[in-house]
């Protein structure tokens, strides 16, 4: 059972986030109606260059169970262990406001990872990260572009309004890698962020260039939903000690039971 003191603190943090006014109303409308929105990211100039350098340092030595080489991407899921500059991404007030609109109740960070799309890779199958009617829904995802997202280097494609559909791509499509009528590419310059409803049909397009395309990605879920990464037990003490009260709240590090 969650203690009343802790529950009140959680609710206070959520109400403070929800009272923000950084996210423009037209962006809220697009996120709600279309299922995704492309917005300016949290960093630019030297801070963004520091983030990019930290990303490359992490991926250069990535190994172990948290590093995965998938069919088209390389992923590192314990990103927060390595550098404090990464905190600026998931603490972005505009992103947290979007969470409050889509999730609608106290939420937490579920996963946070580095993801590099390798050059010369085919399009990803259209998929959803969580079905609209799933018990743990809603889920809000975000992608921070380390490199520009362009048509030729594998920009993420979205099918607008599909987050409202009851079926999944595998129910309807014989070839989920093929272009879908009306799909839209989420393109932008380095430092741009995509925020999306996890139920929307999406997937990266083909990277026909020889160069990798880098990004930082993550998901937020309701506080009662399972997390994709166990921050409470996996985050090293040195990394945990640097976190602000808001960061600890978002990772549910101070959860109490009685």
Give residue limits of the domains in the chain: 4-250
The stretches of the chain forming alpha helices (DSSP H) are 4-18, 25-34, 45-61, 87-90, 93-102, 169-172, 231-234, 237-241, 245-250
Packed helices 93-102 and 4-18: angle between N→C axes, nearest 10 degrees: 110
Residue numbers of the chain with a pLDDT score lower than 70:
1-10, 255-258
Burial class (CB in 10 A: 0-12, 13-18, 19+), 65: exposed
pLDDT at 136: 86
The CATH code of the domain at 4-250 is 2.60.120.620
Alpha-carbon span 12 to 19, nearest angstrom: 11
Alpha-carbon span 42 to 26, nearest angstrom: 19
pLDDT at 211: 98
pTM of the model: 0.94
Give the SS3 label for residue 173: coil
Per the CB < 8 A criterion, the answer to whether 152 and 204 are in contact is no
pLDDT at 258: 32
pLDDT at 4: 55
What tokens were used for 10?
A: 């959680």
Alpha-carbon span 52 to 56, nearest angstrom: 6
pLDDT at 3: 54
pLDDT at 254: 78
Give the SS3 label for residue 213: strand
């Amino acid at each position: 059972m969650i203690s009343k003191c802790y529950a009140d603190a959680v609710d206070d943090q959520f109400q403070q986030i929800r009272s923000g006014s950084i996210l423009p109303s037209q962006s809220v409308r697009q996120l709600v109606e279309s299922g995704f929105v492309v917005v300016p990211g949290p960093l630019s100039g030297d801070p963004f260059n520091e983030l990019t350098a930290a990303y490359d340092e992490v991926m250069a030595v990535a190994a172990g169970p948290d590093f995965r080489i998938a069919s088209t991407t390389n992923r590192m899921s314990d990103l927060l262990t390595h550098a404090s500059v990464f905190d600026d991404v998931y603490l972005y007030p505009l992103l947290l406001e979007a969470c409050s609109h889509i999730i609608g109740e106290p939420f937490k960070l579920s996963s946070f990872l580095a993801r590099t799309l390798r050059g010369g890779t085919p399009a990803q199958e259209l998929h959803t990260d969580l079905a609209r009617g799933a018990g743990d829904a809603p889920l809000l995802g975000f992608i921070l572009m380390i490199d520009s997202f362009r048509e030729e280097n594998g920009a993420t494609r979205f099918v607008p309004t599909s987050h409202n559909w009851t079926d999944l791509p595998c129910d309807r499509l014989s070839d989920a890698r093929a272009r879908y009528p009306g799909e839209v590419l989420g393109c932008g310059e380095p430092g741009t962020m995509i925020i999306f409803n996890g139920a929307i049909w999406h997937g990266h397009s083909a990277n026909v260039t020889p160069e990798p395309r880098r990004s930082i990605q993550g998901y937020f879920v309701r506080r009662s939903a399972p997390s994709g990464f166990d921050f409470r037990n996996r985050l090293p003490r040195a990394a945990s000690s640097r976190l602000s009260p808001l960061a600890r709240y978002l990772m549910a590090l101070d959860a109490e039971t009685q």
